[in-house]
Amino acid sequence: MTVLSFLDDFLEQVAAQFKEVLPATRKQLLVSSRDAILDNASRIDEWIVMSSTGQMSRKDLEWLVKANLDLAKMNRLESSGLSLARIDEMRGQITRTLISSLISSTGL
């Protein structure tokens, strides 16, 4: 087996792994973003009602809206951190695939 044919086989296996993982990640991201926007909108509506009925002050309302923005920052950090963790996980999978490909191609 030549290096080129080995690399072709190996990259095909890697591409198959990406094909499974990426659409699922994209769908998860879209669903969670949509849910977060809808949830935030309904929360802010509730706070406006609470503020107008005297259950909380205008200052409370402002603070909570800003807190929601900070929470969004936290969630963005979580998502981007998890993406990096997935990259590390895939790198681990690629290494395992590479080793098993090498073992089968060299007959070890």
Partner 1 sequence: MGLGQVLVILAFVCGCSPAIAPYSLQAYENAVDLKVDALRLMDQAELPYSENERRIQTLQTRMEKAFEFAKGRPKNEHSTEQWRIMNDPAAHLLGGFLRRWQTEGTLSRGFIVEAERIISRGFDSIIGLESGKVGSKNQIGK
Q: Rule CB under 8 A: which residues touch partner 1?
A: 1-3, 6-7, 43, 47, 50, 55-57, 60, 63-64, 66-71, 73-75, 77-78, 80-82, 84-85, 87-89, 91-92, 94-95, 98-99, 102, 105-106
Min dist CB 69 to partner 1, Å, is 7
Question: Which CB, 30 or 43, lies closer to partner 1?
Answer: 43
Rounded Cα–Cα distance for residues 93 and 64 (Å):
43
Closest CA to 60 of 71, 47, 49: 47
**End-to-end C-alpha distance for the chain, whole angstroms:** 14
